[in-house]
A = this chain, B = another copy of it.
Amino acid sequence: MSVPAPFPARLAARVARFGPLCVGIDPSPKLLAQCGLPDDAGGLYDFGRRVLEAARWELSIVKPQMAYFERHGSAGLAALERLLADCRREGVLVLLDGKRGDIDATAEAYADAFSRPGSPLACDAWTAHAWLGFGALARGVDASLVAGSGVFVVVRSSNPEGNPTQSARLDDGRRVAEALADEIAEANARHAAIGGGIGAVLGATHDESGALAERMPGAWLLAPGVGAQGATFPDVKRRFGTAAARVLPNVSRGILSRGATPAAIAEALGQLRGEAAILG
């Protein structure tokens, strides 16, 4: 099997063609109902196909939310595997959003699940949390990067309930999110030969996301919170400043803002893509 280009290079090439928008595939019971689709494994797959076909596969990266596939157990994951295979064939990158995190061999098992070529859930990148410490994830992060994949670590989540923990102070005076950003920057520097590969999730809803972005030079930044959670594309531009060109604004529920037919989704995606262009 040929070794693919590292994730940061693959992502940059896609973003140059199709823009920075990261489209969430969140087949919740509510969204499935809006689409007139059944709440079963077939409905999950059809929802994903509807979004991808509405975009004519001209998306840089999509982000399936694993919780909605796990609701249907192994059948749900089989639907996800079909979507992953479709995206691979069409060249759309996939960031699996499961916010996984554990220690040592278990972190490595997640990397194996999501990054090993030929693994049923192999994708381009996965989201991780660092509640157990960034260092605990190291074996998993390293394994994914070496395999040519990316990992996006949640540094500053878009929701207000994350503020106390993420803004708490370490003994050295840094905030938890700042220290995590520094650890990501150091690890990316160690993997500079492949362009890093560790991205960060930074809520578009926080003014400090720009300063956190500056602590991680070159890292890709996934910015949730656009649309339903209240941030606008100009907010993203203003908050991220010089880092705005590295931002992947994430929109999930917003893709149904015009309606749930393929034509309505295509229209919403076209508008979102146009608005996201100010970040480039």
Bound CA–CA A135/B164 (angstroms): 11
Bound CA–CA A131/B180 (angstroms): 12
Given the complex, which residues of B lie within 8 Å of A72, measured CB to CB? 120
CB proximity of A131 to chain B, nearest CB, Å: 4
Mask, A37-52, CB within 8 Å of B = 1, is: 0000000000000000
Question: Using a CB-CB cutoff of 8 Å, which residues 226-269 of chain A contact chain B?
Answer: none
CB proximity of A271 to chain B, nearest CB, Å: 24
Nearest first, the 10 closest Cβ-Cβ pairs linking A and B are A73-B120, A133-B161, A135-B161, A168-B168, A67-B109, A74-B77, A74-B78, A136-B161, A70-B113, A129-B131
Q: Which residues of A contact B (CB under 8 A)?
A: 26, 28, 30, 65, 67-68, 70-78, 80-81, 98-107, 109-110, 112-113, 119-121, 129-136, 154, 157, 159-166, 168-171, 176, 179-180
**A interface secondary structure, majority:** helix
In the complex, are the beta carbons of A162 and B133 less than 8 A apart? yes
Most buried by B among A80, A101, A131, A134: A131
In the complex, are the beta carbons of B103 and A131 less than 8 A apart? no
Partner among B26, B81, B136 whose Cβ is within 8 Å of the Cβ of A159: B136
Given the complex, which residues of B lie within 8 Å of A159, measured CB to CB? 103-104, 132-133, 136
Given the complex, which residues of B lie within 8 Å of A75, measured CB to CB? 74, 120
Bound CA–CA A133/B155 (angstroms): 13
Most buried by B among A28, A104, A107, A132: A132
In the complex, are the beta carbons of B73 and A119 less than 8 A apart? yes
Bound CA–CA A170/B176 (angstroms): 10
Given the complex, which residues of B lie within 8 Å of A102, measured CB to CB? 65, 67, 99
Bound CA–CA A64/B139 (angstroms): 21
In the complex, are the beta carbons of B154 and A73 less than 8 A apart? no
In the complex, are the beta carbons of A154 and B134 less than 8 A apart? no
Closest to A121 in B: B73
Partner among B28, B68, B119, B170 whose Cβ is within 8 Å of the Cβ of A71: B119
In the complex, are the beta carbons of B67 and A133 less than 8 A apart? no
CB proximity of A126 to chain B, nearest CB, Å: 10
Q: Please give 6 more A-B residue pairs, beta carbons under 8 A apart, in addition to A165-B168, A165-B180.
A: A67-B113, A73-B81, A98-B100, A133-B160, A133-B161, A165-B176
Bound CA–CA A234/B99 (angstroms): 35
Bound CA–CA A171/B163 (angstroms): 11
Bound CA–CA A134/B131 (angstroms): 12
